Chain A
Amino acid sequence: MRSLPAMVLFAVTTFIIFRFGLDRTALSGSLASGVIWTTLLFAAVLGINRIFLPEREEGGFDAFRLAPVDRPVLFAAKAAVLFLYLVVLEAIVVPVFAVFFLPEWSGLLPLAVILLATNIGFAALGTLISSMAVNSRARDLLVPLLLLPLVVPLMIAATGATAPLLDAGGPSFDKFGTWLLVLGLYDGVFCLVGYAVFDFLLED
């Protein structure tokens, strides 16, 4: 949980910079969608970087690997923790974003569905990447280098689904189902990849 305050601080500071950098008191549509997802993505990277750090300190990663627990269960446990981190982060920073930029709040409820669907993909992919990078000296560089290209499809779907929800005239559900399906497919693919390869990633 030590990384959560840093993630929140990063996100709130980024909103402040956007507010003054764009010189806008209200955002809508694709610009609002871009601002919120760019901020959440880089805040999430902070947490993903540290998800295996307690295991790395004092050799705890070996204790993790010695445990008589199915590897997919360990993957699911770590991914669930990361998912919860992201939910807590969003529960704090999305209302801040709304106060800073949104004149119209009725799109926030359907946005929560998109946030949850995106978090599943983030958590699955982030756990995989973090487990690959944990034993590397360059893990702080490796995580963003590996994660950001792979997360592009997730971000395209998330921003595509979010933009109509944050329209100035109130939320519209244009292609909402399609984008949700894309998010679901992405989540499914990386959950399955994690299930299949996590055992190998834990090997030396």
Chain B
Amino acid sequence: MAEGSERAIWLRDLGRDYGDRSALAGVDLDLPTGASLAVLGPNGSGKSTLLRVLATLLRPSRGEVSVLGADLPRDAWKLRGKVGYLGHEPLLYEDLTGRENLEFQARLYGIPDDEASGRIDADLERLGMRRRAEYRVSDYSAGMKQRIAICRAVLHRPSLLLLDEPDSNLDPEGREAARSLIGRPADLGWRAESPVTRVAVSHDPGKARAEADQVLELEIGVAP
């Protein structure tokens, strides 16, 4: 259950259009801080769009959005730095090694070098990537990229995890290892400044319901 009583995410009648096509319509949500939310729905129901709106990567077309106390899109700048986003793409530079990508990420987020180095080593060790982190990302398999992407998403110890099908490309061993970095808030092997809230898109309803405090089911073109 939620560790805190404050709202992490509050949505009223959220909608997002792409041209004249509605990708998301009439979404309401009230998620307390520290809670875990599973977002379910068929392909095209707007799950990824919802996550991108919450991550400040897309502007909502309609409705009210408040995330960690920041009203979006107006206060998007307040939210950046508190969000750990894992999308369909790994968001890595192909010409850099896995470690170099993480070091660059640490500098972007203003993490001191000593602290960043410790976190990078610990997270890579958890995901079994410490040795392979010295290879260029262009030489990685999809699963290895996903492991580094997970390290990237949590390196700055975010208060809100936004995970779009986080198990993609991971083998069973990788899925188990990833739990300590992006699993349920109570299972995380790291701590943020405030209780961590988790929002995860999944195509596995059984597992998602077992891991989540709340479930949001989206349908194509229909408000939940």
List A residues at the B interface (Cβ < 8 Å): 54, 57-60, 62-63, 65-69, 203-204
Q: Is B92 an interface residue (CB 8 A)?
A: yes
- Whether the Cβ atoms of A62 and B108 lie closer than 8 Å is no
Tell me whether A66 and B94 are in contact (CB under 8 A). Answer: no
Contact residue among A57, A68, A203, A204 (Cβ-Cβ distance under 8 Å from B94): A57
Is B81 an interface position by the 8 A CB rule? yes
B89: chain A residues at CB < 8 Å are 58-60, 62
Give the interface of B toward A (CB within 8 A).
55-59, 73, 77, 80-81, 83, 85, 87-95, 105, 108-110, 137, 145, 152
Q: Which partner residue on chain B sits nearest A59 by CB separation?
A: B89
B155 to chain A, nearest CB (A): 11
Which B residues touch A60, using CB under 8 A?
A: 89, 91-93
The residue that A68 contacts in the complex, of B87, B92, B110, with Cβ under 8 A, is B110
- B91 close to A63 (CB less than 8 A): yes
Residues in B with CB closer than 8 Å to A68 are 77, 80-81, 108-110
Total A-B residue contacts, Cβ distance less than 8 Å: 56
User: How many angstroms between the C-alpha atoms of A59 and B59 in the bound complex?
Assistant: 18
| Interface pair A59/B108, CB less than 8 Å apart | no
Task: With A68-B80, A68-B110, A69-B108 as known contacts, state yes or no: A62 contacts B85, CB within 8 Å.
Answer: yes
B37–chain A nearest beta-carbon distance, Å? 20
Known contacts: A65-B57, A67-B108. The answer to whether A58 contacts B81 by CB under 8 A is no
Q: How far is the CA of A62 from the CA of B56 in the complex (A)?
A: 10
Q: Whose C-beta in chain B lies nearest to the C-beta of A67?
A: B108
Specify which chain B residues have a CB less than 8 angstroms from the CB of A67 in the assembled complex. Answer: 80, 108-109
Q: Which residues of the other chain, A, contact B57 by a CB distance below 8 angstroms?
A: 62, 65-66, 204
